[in-house]
Amino acid sequence: MAEITVTGLQKFFGEHHILRNLSFEVFERERVSIIGPNGCGKTTLLKILAGALPYDGGSVSIPKNRRVGLLEQLPDYPPDVTVREVLWQAFAHLDEMSAALRALEQDMAEGKEVDLARYATLQTAFETAGGYETDMRYAMMVSGLDIPPDMQQRPFMSLSGGEKTRVNLARIMLSGTDLLLLDEPTNHLDVDAIEWLEGYLKSFKGAVVIISHDRYFLDSATTRTLELDDGTITSWPGNYSVYVDRKRELAEQLEAAKKRQDREIERLSFAVERMKGWGIGNSKLMKRAFGMEKRLERIERIQTIRREHKMRNKFSTAERSGNEVYYIENLSAGYDRPLIEGFEATIFRGERIAIVGPNGCGKTTLLLTLLRELPALRGVIYEGVGVKGGYLPQTITFSRPDRTLLDTLLYETHASTQQARDRLAAFGFTGEEVFKTVSVLSGGEKTRLKLCLFMNTGVNTLFLDEPTNHLDILAREWLEDAVDDFSETMLFVSHDRYFIHRFATRVWEVTAGGVRDFIGTYEEYGPPSRKSRSRGRKTTSKRKSCAASLKKRWHGLSDGLPSLTRSFPPRRTTMCGSPSWGARKSSLKPSC
């Protein structure tokens, strides 16, 4: 049975025709994703499905008895309304039924005449709607989405944007909806909460429509893909990875068919021209030539699938760093109190370290401490020879946002105008785009511009803090292409499991007060459930080889510690948060 039926849907914003004659269905218990570039109309479509936005043509049909839950914008509440009160609003319809049942029971206790059939019907409806399970469902939801008791007592309006998103998501899922419409549900969720949400959606008995740029989440949580592009929609069976494979196969087939068609059109065109030349004064030949021309005109030209171009540039490193990039001993990091204590590690050149853990555990704090943007509370940090770092923060800023893209590259890399334009073109900034000011760029465009600067300034150690946040899938793929051939050292904080899976050769899991240091790829790290989910994903041979060689290097550390110690340079050191120069260590210790 169809839960959603869309026929000939049209939507305009002014003269912009954003949705063009869309038709599709979503069936019972389906989990469907809507994908497409930013600005293509995904959120607009979701609002229309929820009845929150009018449309200009066509029809949207949802059965009348269906309860629809939309996760889109964050609602406003009076300043004294607590998180717990917001969450319990999900049970408002059950509270009404419960009050009616209690009133009937009170009447029966007082000996009044009661409509027993109505009481039985109401009690059955209350039980079917989960009225006797509200406490259990509430406890499960706040635990799964990490809404602790102290947060439940806080005013909703005092929460951060990420906390509000979690609470709003919990409220919608508690409300007993039959149809869930989720717009970027994994934003601001850590990996544990995302994995919990995946499990919840798999067991959800209604239909789910999801907009997300989290490819790992889409692979796990969805069974069909709707691609929205240039106002039209295409349905693909399978999750995101299946969609990518099938679309690539179709694109290759269409390109091959178009080449064959082009050759046939060229052959027929040549035959027509030759026949016209021969047919001067010969009406039969001229008639045949005109007939072939008509045949040519009737041929329906094969349309190929537009392919997004890939990154055409590589990092140009001025010099390689030393073999040991950083040595960390007994590090305590935090602000008023330590979030991380007693951390020890050696970072080798070429490692790609993913820093993972729940929100608020100290991942960014650790990254900023290594960068010396934040002083250490205790411990020692040594920097190796020739380390030149580049930092990509969560919020990217530029010193002169009033400059154009071209001027930014000219001033900061001292390139010639042609070199600057070539470098910008490699990152997708072509034509008049190079004259846009930095201030008007989107988040994804700012990321591309910052990476363009890094690529041409000799950076050999990258520090990335949630680099894929707020980027659409295309922008994420641009970012991945940019760092794919980066052969030097990279440390990154991320909740994007697709990004972690692709790049990590080592994982630092930040927990309460400490760091678990795991040498290996993401699919090798973590609990068995996480490993089993990773088995179906492709792992590049280059990354496997890199991880294997790093493991060998670590396994040989116990015999090579003295030589490593002698080769490690006396560089800038941070002790108990204050920098000093020329300090040496008497030994090098691998982290435990």
Torsion from C-alpha of 500, 503, 507, 513, nearest 10 degrees = -50
DSSP structure string for 442-487? -HHHHHHHHHHHHHTTT--EEEEESTTTT--HHHHHHHHHHHHT--
Q: Copy the structure tokens of residue 249.
A: 């196969």
Top-level class of domain 324-388+458-580 = alpha beta
In this structure, are residues 475 and 488 in contact, taking their beta carbons and an 8 Å threshold? no
Three-state DSSP at 14 gives coil
Angle at 260 between CA 254 and CA 261, to 5 degrees: 85
Phi first, then psi, for residue 127 (nearest 5°) are -70, -45
Three-state DSSP at 407 gives helix
In this structure, are residues 178 and 29 in contact, taking their beta carbons and an 8 Å threshold? no
In this structure, are residues 46 and 209 in contact, taking their beta carbons and an 8 Å threshold? yes
| CA pair distance 20, 9, nearest whole angstrom | 7
Q: Which residues contact 303 (CB under 8 A, 6 or more apart)?
A: 254
C-alpha count within 13 angstroms, C-beta hemisphere, residue 524 = 19
In this structure, are residues 39 and 53 in contact, taking their beta carbons and an 8 Å threshold? no
Q: Copy the structure tokens of residue 322.
A: 């030393």
- Residue closest to 328 by CA, chosen among 540, 542, 571, 157: 571
- Read off the pTM: 0.76
Domains 2-243 and 324-388+458-580 share a fold: yes
Phi first, then psi, for residue 83 (nearest 5°) are -60, -40
- The domain limits of the chain are 2-243, 244-298, 324-388+458-580
Query: Which helix (H) or strand (E) segment is 551 a member of?
Result: helix 541-555
Q: Rounded to 5, what percent of the chain is helix, strand, coil?
A: 45, 20, 35
**Strands of the 224-229 sheet, one edge to the other:** 68-71, 179-183, 207-211, 31-35, 224-229, 232-237
In this structure, are residues 28 and 5 in contact, taking their beta carbons and an 8 Å threshold? no
- Burial profile 539-575: b = 16 or more Cβ within 10 angstroms, e = fewer: beeebeebbeebeebbeeeeeeeeebbeebeebebbe
Q: What is the pLDDT along the chain (592 residues), one digit of tens a residue?
A: 899 999 999 999 988 999 999 999 999 999 999 999 888 899 999 999 999 999 999 999 999 888 898 887 567 789 899 999 999 888 887 878 888 888 888 888 888 887 888 888 888 888 877 778 888 889 999 998 889 999 999 999 998 777 888 898 899 888 888 899 999 888 878 888 888 899 889 988 899 999 999 999 999 999 999 999 989 999 999 999 999 999 999 999 999 999 999 999 998 888 888 888 877 778 888 888 888 888 888 888 998 887 765 656 566 655 788 899 999 999 999 998 899 999 999 999 999 999 998 888 899 999 999 999 999 999 999 999 999 888 989 888 899 999 999 999 999 888 899 989 988 887 778 899 999 999 998 877 888 888 888 877 778 999 999 988 878 888 888 888 878 878 899 999 999 999 999 999 999 999 886 899 999 988 888 654 454 444 444 445 555 555 555 555 544 443 443 333 223 333 443 333 333 333 333 333 333 3
CATH code that applies to domain 2-243: 3.40.50.300
Residue type, 202: K
| CA pair distance 101, 572, nearest whole angstrom | 73
| CA pair distance 410, 419, nearest whole angstrom | 9
